[in-house]
Amino acid sequence: MIKIELEVNGKKIQKEIPDHTLLSTFLREHINLTGTHVGCDTSQCGACVVHVDGKSLKSCTALAADLNGSKVTTIEGLASNGKLHPMQEAFKKLHGLQCGFCTPGMVMSVIDLLKQNKNPSDKEIRDWLEGNICRCTGYQNIVAAVKEAAAKM
């Protein structure tokens, strides 16, 4: 067991956990933030993407103990005062999702993209999302949502 302290969605959290606990497991099972999805356990699908110290990270292959002292933002931490983040709003408005399983990871990934590239091309968006698998949408509406959110962010 190891004691860790993380700031998750603006709240300081201290927990004693097994030292082999993945960040995704910590979020889902230790602090009940189930918006971070786990689809593959091998870092292939991207459903588990969160932000750690402002950068996107696949949480299913990161040990929580290795991130001790970090700031973590999950999909639950994006909305503010009941108002969706512009990326969440764009995904909703432009139907950038179908089943929704990949959506939290997609949203978290493309927010990081827009921090680095304020006006990405369709190709740049698709290249960025190479590590995020969606089996439903064909990505057309996801790309459109990213472009709309980019104009508002």
Do 53 and 72 fall into the same domain? yes
* Final residue belonging to a domain, choices 16, 45, 77: 77
Do 121 and 68 fall into the same domain? no
| Structure confidence by residue, pLDDT tens digits, 65-90 | 999 999 999 999 999 999 999 999 99
Q: Do 13 and 71 meet the contact criterion of CB atoms below 8 Å apart?
A: no
Average pLDDT, the chain: 94
| Structure confidence by residue, pLDDT tens digits, 105-117 | 999 999 999 999 9
Do 69 and 107 fall into the same domain? no
* Final residue belonging to a domain, choices 31, 53, 77: 77
Q: In CATH, what number is assigned to the domain containing residue 121?
A: 1.10.150.120
Do 72 and 110 fall into the same domain? no
Question: How many domains does the chain fold into?
Answer: 2
CA-CA-CA-CA torsion sign (141, 142, 147, 151): positive
Q: Do 129 and 109 meet the contact criterion of CB atoms below 8 Å apart?
A: yes
Do 70 and 92 fall into the same domain? no
Placement of tokens 């933002």 in the chain: 73
In whole angstroms, what is the distance from residue 109 CA to residue 128 CA? 8
pTM of the model: 0.92
Q: What residues contact residue 24 under an 8 Å CB cut-off, 6+ apart?
A: 36, 38, 48, 59, 60, 62
Do 10 and 73 fall into the same domain? yes
Q: Do 151 and 121 meet the contact criterion of CB atoms below 8 Å apart?
A: no
Q: In CATH, what number is assigned to the domain containing residue 29?
A: 3.10.20.30
In whole angstroms, what is the distance from residue 151 CA to residue 11 CA? 30
* Final residue belonging to a domain, choices 25, 57, 77: 77
Do 7 and 62 fall into the same domain? yes
Residue 38 has pLDDT above 80, yes or no: yes
Q: What is the pLDDT of residue 29?
A: 96
Among the listed residues 63, 70, 71, the one whose alpha carbon sits nearest the alpha carbon of residue 23 = 63
Q: What is the pLDDT of residue 79?
A: 93
Domain that holds residue 95: 86-152
Across 1-5, 20-24, 37-41, least confident range:
37-41
Do 6 and 70 fall into the same domain? yes
In whole angstroms, what is the distance from residue 100 CA to residue 123 CA? 23
74-87: b or e for each residue (b if 16 or more CB lie within 10 Å)? bbbbbeeeeeebbb
Do 39 and 103 fall into the same domain? no
Do 12 and 50 fall into the same domain? yes
| Structure confidence by residue, pLDDT tens digits, 84-113 | 999 999 999 999 888 888 899 999 999 999
10-22: b or e for each residue (b if 16 or more CB lie within 10 Å)? eeeeeeebeeebb
